Amino acid sequence: MTETISYEITGTSGEIEFRKYPALVLATVDSAGDDSGFNLLFAYISGNNSTQNSISMTAPVITSQQIPMTAPVVSDAMSMSFVMPPGKKRDEIPDPLDSRVRIISIPEREVAVIRFRGYAPQDEVAATEVRLREGLEATGIEPIGGPFLMRYNPPWTPGFLRRNEVGMEIKR
């Protein structure tokens, strides 16, 4: 069973859940708008790193569009990230051997999320993002940065059992 990162629920508003996440370390790859980064990240946690040791898989897998919020530009650039095991600091994570994999630290933060089930097709993700943005605006909560998709299940999980979430960091 894949370990899931912990969080504290700090409130709700309709279908939006507010969460406080601890500081995290991510292995991240930029990709061309598909899941091609998955193989690079999986190789990294499978031993393609400076210690040649495997690293436990942790859920969720996070993908985010790299589109500046102020630019009305459509871009296929995205990043995909694997969350490193909870409680690990950057200096406890082995360096990748592939330069396309970056290790980054994310400070503690509060995130607003909407959960949905299924295979996370782009139209469903986009519709969930719109609901999240509208819900935050209605409550007067300011998002920080762009939205991201969190997928919790392995590829062989049937769609009706899959857990997905669209999240945005917030400032309250």
Summarize pLDDT for 150-166 with one digit per residue, the tens.
Answer: 999 988 899 999 999 99
* Pairwise pLDDT comparison (83 vs 71), residue with the higher score: 83
Tell me the C-alpha distance between 120 and 73, whole Å: 22
Range of the domain at 32: 23-58+65-107
Helix boundaries (H) for the chain: 37-45, 122-139
pLDDT tens across 118-152, in order? 999 999 999 999 999 999 999 999 999 899 999 99
Task: Name the residue type at position 21.
Answer: Y
* Pairwise pLDDT comparison (71 vs 10), residue with the higher score: 10
Provide the token pair at 16. Answer: 């939006």
- Choose among 38, 85, 36, 30: nearest CA to 57: 85
Same domain, 153 and 169: yes
Same domain, 32 and 88: yes
Same domain, 17 and 31: no
User: What is the residue whose two structure tokens read 């986009």?
Assistant: 126
Same domain, 53 and 89: yes
pLDDT tens across 36-78, in order? 789 999 999 999 999 999 999 899 999 986 544 333 334 446 8
Spell out where 89-172 has E strands: 101-106, 109-117, 142-151, 163-171
